[in-house]
Amino acid sequence: MKIAAPLPPDQIAAMLRSLTDVSVVVVGDFGFDAYLHLETLPGETSQETGRPIEAVRRFAYDPAGAANVAVNLVALGVRDVRAVGVVGDDLHGRELVRALGMRGIDTSGFVTQTGGWQTVVYAKPHRDGIEGTRIDFGEFNELGAETNAEMLRRFREALRGEPAVIFNQQVRRGVLEPSNIVDFVGAAAGAVTIADSRHHARAFDGCRLS
C-alpha cells in the first residue's frame, strides 16, 4: 500500500482558513458525557438506607455524539454550524441547548419531545482516577411520529444556502433509524453528505462514510 505524502503546512493552513466560509448541518444523536468525581463521606450514612454516602467533589459536562461533532467544527473555524436533533423536556436537554448556543451553534433545529424521550447522557462516575460503571440516559427512547416529522421539517429549513451535512448515528434507539434515514438522505440530495453511523451505516446510501 502506498502512503500519501503529508500535506505541506501552508496547504493545511489554507484549508483551515477556507472553513470559515463553510456551512454545516449536523443531524443526529446530541448528548453529553457527564463526569462525576466521587468521594465517600467518612462517618456519613443515609438515614433511609444506612449505606455510606457518595459525594460529588467535581462534576463536568462534555459534548457527546453529534454535539461533539458540532463543537469540533466550531473549533476548526466553521462559523455556521446548524444542529438538528431531539432533546427531552429535562434538565440535560435545556443545558445542552444552552451549552451549544454559547458556542455559536444554531440550535433552532432541535425538537423537544415531552414524553418517551430522555436527553442522551453518558454518566461516568470516577473514583481515585478510575472510571466506574457507566450510567446511560436515553437507551429506551421512542421517537414519536410528530417529533420525526417536525425534525425533518426543521432539517429542510436548515438546508438553506446548500450547506454540507453530517449525519451522526450513535444511539441504537436514537433520532436516525432505518425507517427515516432514507427521508433525511433524500432531503439532502445534491449536498455533500457524510455519515458517521454505529449501527445503520448501510442505510445511508450515497453518503460518504467516516
Q: What is the pLDDT of residue 43?
A: 77
CA distances in angstroms from 205 to 150, 163, 167, 185, listed in the order given: 23, 19, 12, 8
In order of start, what are the domains of the chain with their CATH numbers? 18-31+64-119+142-209 (3.40.1190.20)
* pLDDT tens track, the chain, 210 positions: 445 567 687 776 776 677 788 999 999 999 999 999 998 888 788 888 988 888 899 989 999 999 999 999 999 999 999 999 999 999 999 999 999 999 999 999 999 999 999 999 999 999 988 999 999 999 999 999 999 999 999 999 999 999 999 999 999 889 999 999 999 999 999 999 999 999 999 999 999 887
Q: What is the pLDDT of residue 1?
A: 41
- The pTM (predicted TM-score) of the whole model is 0.88
Number of H helices, E strands in the chain: 5, 11
Q: What is the pLDDT of residue 41?
A: 83
**CA proximity to 120, closest of 133, 98, 135:** 135
